[in-house]
Structures are given as C-alpha cells and as structure tokens.
Structure 1
Amino acid sequence: MVDESLLVQRMSGRKLSGLIAATYTPMTASGDLKLDVIPQMVEKLLLDGISGLYVCGSTGEGMSLTTPERQSIAAAFVEASGGRLPVIVQVGHNSLRESQTLAAHAQQVGADAISATCPSYFKVSTTRTLVDSMKELASAAPETPFYYYHIPMLTGSSIDMPEFLTQADEAIPTLVGLKYTDTKLFEFQRCLELANRQFDVVWGCDEMLLGATATGARAAIGSTYNIAAKLYRQMTLALTSGQLDAARKWQSQAIEMISTIGRYPFHPAMKAILAMQGLDVGPCRLPLESLSSAQAKSLREELQAIGFFDWCRVTAEPSHS
C-alpha cells in the first residue's frame, strides 16, 4: 500500500534548482563498469557547486547499458551522494517492463526522483499513447517523483508538452514535471506557466541556458556542467545581479566551448576533458566512438586556445563596475 502522506510530502514544494549534472558512466578500457570512480566524481561535482545528479541519461549512456548495470550505477550514485544532493535516475527503455524494473529499483535504493524517455524504436505519435506509456512506467515507483524526459531529437517523439502535462496530471499521480531538452523556448515557457506554475520544468540545452533562465528556468540538467559548472554559475550570477552584458559573455564562452567539443565525437570528447581535469572516467561504449591520441591532443590544444582551462577554474565574482 502506498503511504499517501509520504507521497504528498515528496511531491509538493520540492522543485529542483541550480545546475544538475547529467553524469557520465565510468568505464574501463574494455567497456566494463568502473564503479569505484563514482565517489570521486560526486565529490568533484559538489566542489564545483553542482546541485543535483541525473544518472543513466543520454550522457551516461543509459541506453547502451544492461538493466543490471544501470541498477548498479544508480545505487552507486545514491550511496556516494549520501543525501547531500538529489539523485534523479533515468529509467527509460524501449521495453516498458524493463523500465518498470529500473523504476522499482531506483525507489528501493532511495533515488530522489525518476525520469524517463519514451520508447523510441516504435515511435510514440499521440499524446494518449505517451501518457499511457509513462503511467505504466511510473506505476512501478509509486512513492517517487517522476519527470518525463522530453528529447525529441533522439526519441523522434514531438508530442506537444503542455498538452502532455495537462493529460498526464490526472493519469500519473507521481508526475512532477519535465526534463525539457529541446530548443523551443516558447513551449518551455508555456510548460512553466501551465496550471499556475504547478510543474517543475527543468531546462536541458546548455547552449541556451541564458535564454531559459531569463524565461524562468530555476534548474537545468546538462552534460557540460560536469566540466564547466563554474562558468555557468558566473553567467547565472551575472544575470541575477542585472549584468546582462556579462551574462551574455559567459554564455558566449559556453557556446564556443561546446562548438569546439562538437568538432569531435561529443561524449567521448567530454570524457577526455574530464581526464584532463584529473578525473579518469574511461572511454565510451560502442556504438559511441573513442578518441584517438591525436584527437585528444588536438582537443586539448583547441580548448587551450579559447581559454577553457581558465574558465573552468573561474572563481571571481562578476564586476559591479
């Protein structure tokens, strides 16, 4: 039986805030999990000012991992976090039965929330099907807040999100909001303002964080927060203190950084940058590529040329002059 008082407590008034790192999955050179690195990863992110962890998403190669592997990773991040910051576990799968297994496990190990993409091999083309699918999935973790993960560029599902939230609100008791990874700021704003700002809508496009923050985003989930959280924190601080030109400068630097990384296989390049910062999380698993030694050397040189290694260490407050 569901503890309804506990459910209400967990669903109400606990919106995410700040920068939430979409965590990488540490692996050995042969592609096996390397769970002993996770505590070090969490400590680094805490020092960088990260306010939450999003585990086994696109960044964490969740779709390339087995269900037991995903369970092991989720448990390791929850344990390493020690309640110091929320852990959201991504449980989406082409098999909704496997998603239910992952969701139930996430609740069992104490994840603060679950999140899920929709099945993507067979495309979800109607709002009703999306609601029914997410209802079935979320029912396996009836005491854990649920965030739908909207990322149409990967799932191929472009359902109208305000319509989904409206229909899902009644059907899914644990629904609290969305991870919104698209570039439609107008739709993001509609979701934020829906039902008297009922839903916790979290931004998911690092290149557009400034626009999303100006639109009303309180939290963002992203890959590059793993390597440059301090840059994004400076941008947010500049914006909230009324220094729009400075905020634009920080966002411009983030865009340049992402553009530079994007000239290489993105997630393998990100893992290489983490190694450059002293955190060896290994390579990615096929079908993602690995960087050659020449590519890693070239990447480091390009990042040095744009000043990245200074940005990621930035500690100064923005000028008030």
Structure 2
Amino acid sequence: MKLNGLIAATYTPLDPHGDLNLSAIGPMVEDLLRNGITGLYVCGSTGEGMSLTSEERRKVAEAYVEATAGRVPVIVQVGHNSVHEARQLASHAQAVGADVISATCPSYFKVSSVAALVDCMAELASGAPDLPFYYYHIPALTGSTIEMADFLQRGGDQIPNLVGLKYTDTKLFEFQHCMELEGGRFDVVWGCDEMLLGALATGARAGIGSTYNIAAPLYLQIMAAFEAGDFAQARKGQSLSIEMIRTIGRYPFHPAMKAILEMQGFHVGGCRLPQGRLSPSQSDSLRSELSAIGMDFGHAASLSLNP
C-alpha cells in the first residue's frame, strides 16, 4: 500500500482531571476531514501514546476507528517498552478495524543493532499479520540511530507485513535513499512538518504531522504549489509554516498545540505529565502571537497563504 497526502498525527483529548474525553474525538475527526486530511495517525508522540495506559490506548484507537468510519486510513501506533505489550496492542488494533499499525522501538533499554530492531518489530508486527506495518523512526525520542536502509533491507526479508517507515528525522539524504531502496519497494512517509517542501522535492508522497491538525489548508497550498511548479509560492508557504512552528515552539510544544485546539472549541484539555498544560497567560500570549502571523481562530483555527 501507499499512503498519500496529509495525515494528521491526532491528539488525545483529556478532561480537566486528565482522564480521557472520548466524546471530543468525533468532532475533531469531522474537522480534520473537512480540511482535507487523508489519514489519521493515532497514539503516536502527538497523541501521547507513551503517557497513556494500554487500556486507554485501546479506547482511543477504538474511538478514532469508529469516528472515521472507513473514510480515510486510521494508523494506530502500538510501540511500547514491553514488546509483548506492543504485540497485544497490535492485535487489538487489527481486531477493532484499524487500517495500519506503526510502532516506535523500545527506548528504555536502547536498541543498538539492526538485528535487535528487526527482532523487536517482527514480534510486535506479528500481532496484526493482516495489517500493513510502518516502523516509526524518531531518533530524537527513542535514541535509536540505526541506519534505516539497513533495517528495511533486513526487515523486509523477516517481517512479512513491513511496508515502510514513518520517518521523523531531518536527514533528507537518508529519506531519499530509503525511498529508492530496492526499486521503491518501501513506502517512506515524511514526519517533519517544517521541512515538508524539502521532502516533496525529494519525492515524498505523504506526510504525517502534528501541525496538520491546525493548518492543513496551508500545507495543502504548499503541496499544490509544488505540483504546479510554482516553487516561489511553495517556499512562501513553507516559510509561513516555519514561522508558525517557531512561534509554537517558544512554549512547551504539545501543550501549546492543545491550547490552540481549545481555542478552536475542541475540549482536549492539557497533556499528561511530564508535559502539563499552558497557563492562561501563556495561552493568551500564544493566541496573540499566532494572530499576528495570520492565524484565524473562527470556527476552526487555520493558517493559509493569502489568495
């Protein structure tokens, strides 16, 4: 299979006590689909998968699958420090109707060899043998810096349902090499929002990102301009994305993103510790700073290039 377009790394809504607020998922899904999102990536870094209990992760996966109702692919991230637990999460994702599974590697005990990474991913992916599996490469959080081409070559022989990567790093040369490996055998999806244009120029067909939740129109404009050969307009759009992300990055990133979703009217709460949530004064400052670069906080927060 091949993923295409903008895939939102979804947020997990919490109530004021920090418990799941599953009732917010339906409206969030409808807004994402209305804004042109072509897939959902559930319980990843953005969705605080590693801060949720396994039972909570199952409930969130079920809620997103149900709300999406087959309209776009739902990718469930099942990575866990316990590979056995990850395998059970993969089995659950398949049972409830997810379209794809993905997983980070264990990160407490570091995975230091290609063979160990393949063994870990083979075990967990076997829990959902009927679903395509994408390894989630995010070395900044897992500490695993194994060459992805080496993993794909060995993993492709030993993991029957391995189809590609979610590549969340900045090494465009490695990204391109992985895409071209074995005649383009693997589907490699870009995961760094502020470098989407560079990835498109390298051959990316899809991106998975956090800020697609709040600025999908901007990223669709970047993609359309690139496809039309209007590289000046595409660069202008990417520059605006960078400015937006730099603004959000002056605050704790995911709590700030959740604050923006609250400004949209979605009851997502804050983040689980250790991330926490923004103070009211921080939220006010963030809103002012984003308004200054053109973000609209009407029915749905959005940022786009002027016509």
TM-score of the alignment, normalized to the shorter chain, above 0.5: yes
Distance in 1 between residues matched to 2:242 and 2:264, nearest whole Å? 20
- 2:165 is paired with a residue whose SS is strand
Distance 1:175 1:198 in 2: 10
**Helix, strand or coil at the partner of 1:255:** helix
Distance in 1 between residues matched to 2:86 and 2:247, nearest whole Å: 35
Select which of 269, 292, 300 maps to 1:305: 292
Q: What amino acid sits opposite 2:155 in the alignment?
A: A
The one-letter amino acid paired with 1:312 is: S
**Which of 48, 55, 79 is 1:92 aligned to?**
79
Match of 1:7 in 2: none
Residue aligning to 2:241: 254
Q: Does structure 1 conserve the Cα–Cα contact (< 8 Å) formed by 2:15 and 2:267?
A: no
- Tell me if 1:49 matches 2:36: yes
**Is 2:140 aligned against 1:153?**
yes
Show the 5 A alignment for 1:230-269. 230-269=217-256
Deviation at 1:306, TM superposition (A): 1.4
**Residue identity opposite 1:267 in structure 2:** H
Q: Secondary structure at the match of 2:296?
A: helix
Displacement, 1:282? Answer: 1.2
Are residues 1:166 and 2:166 paired?
A: no
- Secondary structure of 1:280's counterpart equals coil
Q: After superposition, what is the alpha-carbon deviation per residue over 1:128-152, rounded to whole angstroms, capped at 9, x for unaligned? A: 1000110011011111110000000
Displacement of 1:78 = 0.4
1:17-28 equivalences under 5 Å are 17-28=4-15
Number of aligned pairs? 304
Q: CA RMSD in A?
A: 1.2
Question: What pairs up with 1:5-154 in 2 under 5 angstroms?
Answer: 14-154=1-141
Give TM-score scaled by structure 1 length.
0.93
1:183-242 Cα distance to aligned partner (Å, 9 max, x none):
000000000001110111000000100000110000000000000000000011111101
Equivalence for 1:208: 195
How far apart are the structure 2 equivalents of 1:242 and 1:170? 38
**Residue 226 (1) aligns with residue 239 (2):** no
TM-score by length of 2: 0.97
Does the 8 Å CA contact 2:135/2:164 hold for their aligned counterparts?
yes
Mind listing any 5+ residue stretches in structure 2 that lack a counterpart? none
Distance 1:82 1:315, change over 3 A: farther
Cα pair distance change 1:315/1:210, threshold 3 Å: closer
Q: Tell whether the 8 Å contact from 2:294 to 2:303 is kept in structure 1 after alignment.
A: no
Q: Deviations over 1:92-148 (max 9, x none)?
A: 000001101100000000100000000000000100100011001101111111000
Deviation at 1:313, TM superposition (A): 5.4
- Cα distance, 1:283 vs. partner? 1.1
Distance 2:88 2:71 in 1: 26
How far residue 312 of structure 1 moved from its aligned partner, in angstroms, is 1.8
**Amino-acid identity (%):** 67
Distance in structure 2 (CA, Å) of the matches to 1:308 and 1:261 = 12
Structure 2 residue 185 is matched with structure 1 residue 198 = yes
The residue identity in structure 2 corresponding to 1:302 is E
Q: How many Å separate the matches in 2 of 1:300 and 1:69?
A: 30
Give per-residue Cα distances to partners, 1:259-304, cap 9 Å, x unaligned: 0000001001001111112222111111112100000000011111
Amino acid at match of 1:257: M
Q: Deviations over 1:55-81 (max 9, x none)?
A: 000000000000000000001100100
8 Å Cα contact 2:237/2:305 also seen in 1: no
Q: 3-state SS of the aligned residue for 1:226? A: helix
SS of the aligned residue for 2:278 comes to coil
